[in-house]
Structure 1
Amino acid sequence: MNEPFKTQRLYSLDALRGFDMFWIIGAEEIFHKLSEITGAPFWQALSVQFTHPAWNGFAAYDMIFPLFLFLAGIATPYSIGRQLENGSSKKSLLVRVIKRGLILVVLGIIYSNGLQILPLNEIRFPSVLGRIGLAYMFANIIYLYTSKRGQIIWFGTFLIGYWLLLLFNSAPGYAMGDLTMEGNFVSYIDRLIIPGKLYLGIHDPEGLIATIPAISTALLGILVGTLLKQTTAEKKKTTAIQLVIIGVVLIIVAQIWNLVFPFNKNLWTSSFALQCGGISTLLMAGFYYIIDILEYKKWAFFFKVIGMNSILIYMSGQFIDWTYTTNAIFEWLGQLVGEPYNALVLVFCFLTVEWVFLYVLYRNKIFLKV
């Protein structure tokens, strides 16, 4: 752990990353508990939105993972790009990018399996952090060695190429273009090449081949980050408008593509990548406008504290029993409130304990950097 490099930062970027992580670290339980307690259709509908569809479909909760990868891409021009401007060689930055990507893969394996020795066939190698690491790595290599035009070409090539890969292939015994969990070509290839076990036995939602379109998600973030970094003070509102237009166009294209290539987080389909990319761009435009243009920042400090230590709080669940800690401190409050709302109150207590932990680290300038 150490202090982050003192480079130009977007307050809105850290805040949006924290907003994203807020739902990962337990906030979605607010809606699940309200749905269970009240049985009201409104809360039940929100609860469904914070649950992943079993296969095809799209819910708000599907945005969490792609948004984080998109934001990692936005950070690239402010980190790798800044170091290029300061004279760092592409070779040294390439080594750093590959190292960071592989460290995230290793952290992902630890997250999925814990710190224990297991037989090879019981180890799950794919992970959320692993996909972020690989997609980040390849997107940053493209950033280092291609122009903006080249990045756009790679962005489209990965999405179209992935669609064609699934469209003209299938698992043995299934019709060409089959998109079921059993019959799609991507899951079949993962079953052949990935050692250990897959999360769903015959499929892993963080499998290797579906990393291809995820690279496009990271590249979109890089392109948005480049636009933001090159924006002068006088052009900030223009950039915000451009981001809104880009986001809307991506969502429209995604909806059309969804008709023939359905939204599917498990396969990270090209339509899903564009849908999430469009929404992510709109979210970035909104946070950028409110925080960096209008300069309403105080409300976002809560999220910034989370966003500055996103990897640490994500990994912490494997080493810290947050539920035990919450009950040890706040069980009395749950008893005072009583059934059925004590469960909801303890969700807020759970989030408070995590946030205070992150705030102490923030105040002491302790940040986990990979």
Structure 2
Amino acid sequence: MSDTTTNGRLISLDALRGFVMFWIMSGEHIIHALAKAAPIPVFIWMSSQLHHTEWDGITFYDMIFPVFLFVAGVSMPFSFDKKMKIAGVNTPSELPSKEKRKIYLSMLKRTCILLVLGFVVNGLLKFDGYEQTRFASVLGRIGLAWFFAGIIYLNFDIKGQVLWFVGILVGYYVVMKWIPVPDFGAGILTKEGSLEGYIDRMLLPGRLHSKVYDPEGLLSTIPAIATALLGMFLGTFLKVKSSFSANKKLLIMFISALTLMLIGLIWDYDFPINKHLWTSSFVFFVGGFSVLFFTFFYLTIDVWGFHKWAFPLILIGSNSILIYMASEGMVNFGHTANYVFGGAIKMAPLIWQPVFTTLSVTLVQLALLYFLYKRKWFLRI
């Protein structure tokens, strides 16, 4: 197995993180432009996969957020392992209360920073007023789910962690299916009639993303903890020394991925796969795909040692939160790209100009990330 760690970080994790973030920062626009310029079946299909589903069902685009959260979970055992080594212990249960409190405060600080950054991405600094501010966010959900998964990791052994995982998903299923919503009843899994939407309307302050519910709302953040736990299970499996060969580890991961996907598909019949509600079947199904994605990167980078091909993804993954925030409107990459490449793009056939425009935006983004990478400037939270 190749040594593919950098400063204690698995390169395959940064590459996978970069892969999913690429589609958000500019990759989706490249594919949409290609589908219009060259409407062949493969580009049309890829373009259709880079939209969220209207409600039930799933596309590749629906998987990006949970895969990113899953990767955060995979990183968790490695991150806490460093803290335990500093404290001179081998397991979280051996940590002195004083050291554990320090870790809790560090986790709480990280979560609060992500919550605030989520507010900023949503336009907090526009000062449009309380009613127009959206408080739920992607970064906020990552922070909260990571925080509570970390609390579970630090206080329970693997059996207890699995019980929490199952309990969260079964419990979410029970409340969503059995608790009645005023004027709708129980088990109505629509935008207006779901318990998740009702709680968002009643308790979530400010503006809801989708008026009657928020896809990063309060109740649906609870099963997102299970997504982080799934990643944590995989991270623990990779971290713990065992007699398993690399091939056997890969086989176990592959079988686990198929099993998770199968559970998700079976549960879909009664509790539909739905990213907006982050249903339990969604957690299982996307969890399986997350393991498959990671297995590919782990095999090519950590086992075979082929990582040069993934360097652009590593650039993105090593500064993923920064490029996410920048791409969500905080930096006008299009203006810079047009200034540098606009003249050359105008010389291309009209139908292909949008493709080259989106590619030029990606080049500007990668140039910025390369500059930051070479100077070891990373937004680490």
Q: Is the Cα–Cα contact under 8 Å of residues 7 and 79 in structure 1 kept in the other structure?
A: no
> What is the identity, as a one-letter code, of the residue corresponding to 1:369?
R
The equivalent residue for 1:131 is 141
Q: Is the Cα–Cα contact under 8 Å of residues 305 and 359 in structure 1 kept in the other structure?
A: yes
Q: CA RMSD in A?
A: 1.6
Deviation, 1:114, is 4.2
Identical positions, percent: 41
Deviation, 1:46, is 1.6
Deviation, 1:170, is 3.7
Q: Deviations over 1:96-126 (max 9, x none)?
A: 1111111101100110014232321111000
Question: 1:276-355 counterparts in 2 under 5 A?
Answer: 276-317=286-327, 318-355=329-366
Deviation, 1:32, is 1.0
Deviation, 1:202, is 0.7
Structure 2 CA distance, aligned partners of 1:48 and 1:333?
29
Q: Is the Cα–Cα contact under 8 Å of residues 330 and 349 in structure 1 kept in the other structure?
A: yes
Question: 1:254-265 counterparts in 2 under 5 A?
Answer: 254-265=264-275
Q: Is the Cα–Cα contact under 8 Å of residues 171 and 182 in structure 1 kept in the other structure?
A: no
Question: 1:125-164 counterparts in 2 under 5 A?
Answer: 125-164=135-174
Q: Is the Cα–Cα contact under 8 Å of residues 308 and 367 in structure 1 kept in the other structure?
A: yes
Structure 1 CA distance, aligned partners of 2:220 and 2:283?
11
Number of residue equivalences: 366
Runs of 5+ in structure 1 lacking a partner? 1-5
Deviation, 1:297, is 1.1
Structure 1 CA distance, aligned partners of 2:49 and 2:125?
33
Q: Is the Cα–Cα contact under 8 Å of residues 7 and 78 in structure 1 kept in the other structure?
A: no
Structure 2 CA distance, aligned partners of 1:340 and 1:214?
41
Quick check: 86-95 or 155-164, which moved more?
86-95
Q: Deviations over 1:133-186 (max 9, x none)?
A: 100110011111111111111111111111111101242111320001010111
Deviation, 1:44, is 1.9
CA pair 114-120 structure 1, distance change in 2 beyond 3 A: closer
The equivalent residue for 2:92 is none
> What is the identity, as a one-letter code, of the residue corresponding to 1:360?
F
Q: Is the Cα–Cα contact under 8 Å of residues 17 and 307 in structure 1 kept in the other structure?
A: yes
Question: 1:88-99 counterparts in 2 under 5 A?
Answer: 89-99=99-109
Runs of 5+ in structure 2 lacking a partner? 1-5, 88-94
> What is the identity, as a one-letter code, of the residue corresponding to 2:167?
T
The equivalent residue for 1:211 is 221
- The match for 1:106 among 100, 116, 136 is 116
Structure 2 CA distance, aligned partners of 1:226 and 1:59?
29
- The match for 1:202 among 209, 212, 232 is 212
The equivalent residue for 1:3 is none
Q: Deviations over 1:242-270 (max 9, x none)?
A: 11111110000000001111111110011
* SS of residue matched to 2:198: helix
Structure 2 CA distance, aligned partners of 1:234 and 1:200?
47
The equivalent residue for 2:35 is 35
The equivalent residue for 1:20 is 20
> What is the identity, as a one-letter code, of the residue corresponding to 1:63?
M
The equivalent residue for 1:54 is 54
Structure 1 CA distance, aligned partners of 2:271 and 2:258?
19
* SS of residue matched to 2:183: coil
Structure 1 CA distance, aligned partners of 2:242 and 2:339?
50
Structure 2 CA distance, aligned partners of 1:193 and 1:246?
37
Which aligned runs of 4 or more in structure 1 are off by greater than 4 angstroms? 231-234
Q: Is the Cα–Cα contact under 8 Å of residues 72 and 221 in structure 1 kept in the other structure?
A: yes
What TM-score, normalized to structure 1?
A: 0.96
Structure 2 CA distance, aligned partners of 1:124 and 1:251?
33
Structure 2 CA distance, aligned partners of 1:113 and 1:209?
23
The equivalent residue for 2:90 is none
Structure 1 CA distance, aligned partners of 2:365 and 2:39?
28
CA pair 298-232 structure 1, distance change in 2 beyond 3 A: farther
Q: Deviations over 1:249-295 (max 9, x none)?
A: 00000000011111111100111111110000111111111110111
Matched, 1:268 2:278: yes
